[in-house]
A and B are shown apart, each in its own frame.
Chain A
Amino acid sequence: MKITSVETGIVALPNDEPLGGFSENPNATNPIVTLRVGTDAGIEGIGVTYFGGRLTNTLRHAVDELGALVIGEDPLRVEAVAAKLAAAAGSAGPGGILTMAMSAIDVALWDIKGKELNLPLWKLLGGGRDHIATYASGALRRGLKLEEAVTAAGRLREKGYRQAKMQLGLPGATSPAREVEQACLIREAVGPDMDLMCDINQRWRVEQAIDIGRRVEDAGVGLYWLEDVTTADHFPGLARVAAALSTPVAGGEYLWGIVPFRHMLEARSVDIVMIDQVRSGGITPWLKIAGMAEAFNLPVVSHGVPEIHVHLVGAAPNRLTVEYMPRLFRLFEEVPVPENGDLAMPTAPGLGLKFNQETIRRFAIA
Chain B
Amino acid sequence: MKVSAIRSSIVALPADEPLAGAAENPSGTRPIVTLQVETDQGVTGVGVTYLGGALTGAVVVGEDPLLVEAIAAKLCAAAGSAGPGGIFNLAHSALDMALWDIRGKALNLPLWKLLGGARERVPTYASGALMRGLSLDRVVAAAARLKERGFREMKTQLALPGDTLPAKEVERMRRVREAIGPDIKLMCDINQRWRAEQAIDIGKRVEDAGVGLFWLEDVTTHDDYAGIARVNAALATPICGGELVYGIVPFRHMIEARSVDYVMIDLIRVGGITQWLKVAGMAEAFNLPVVSHVIPEIHAHLVAAAPNGLTVEYMGWMLQLFDGTAALENSERVLSDRPGLGLSFREEVVNRFAVAS
Contacts and interface: CB of A to CB of B under 8 A. Distances in A.
A233 B82 contact: no
Interface string A87-111: 0011111111111100000000000
A97 B59 contact: no
A268 to B, nearest CB: 14
Interface residues of A, number: 32
B79 A55 contact: yes
A54 B244 contact: no
Contacts of A347: none
A58 B82 contact: yes
B52 A96 contact: no
Given A91-B51, A96-B89, A97-B87, A53 B249 contact: no
Contacts of B81: 51-53, 100, 254, 279
Nearest to A100: B82
Contacts of B53: 92
A99 B253 contact: no
A98 B80 contact: no
Interface string B216-250: 00000001111000000000000000001010011
A95 B84 contact: yes
B78 interface: yes
B246 A95 contact: yes
B83 A96 contact: yes
A198 interface: no
Contact of A91 (B77, B223, B244, B249): B244
Interface residues of B, number: 30
B314 interface: no
Contacts of B152: none
16 contacts: A52-B80, A53-B79, A53-B82, A54-B79, A55-B79, A55-B80, A56-B80, A91-B51, A91-B269, A93-B86, A94-B86, A96-B85, A96-B87, A97-B82, A100-B81, A259-B224
A55 B86 contact: no
Given A91-B52, A233-B249, A52 B82 contact: yes
B357 to A, nearest CB: 17
A263 interface: yes
Given A59-B82, A89-B52, A96 B253 contact: no
A58 B51 contact: no
A279 B53 CA distance: 19
Contacts of A92: 51-53, 86-87, 90
User: Which 7 pairs, one residue from A and one from B, show the smallest C-beta to C-beta distance?
Assistant: A96-B86, A53-B80, A95-B85, A92-B52, A51-B81, A54-B78, A91-B51
A249 to B, nearest CB: 19
Contacts of A324: none
Contacts of A259: 223-224
Interface in A307-334: none
A256 interface: yes
A173 to B, nearest CB: 21
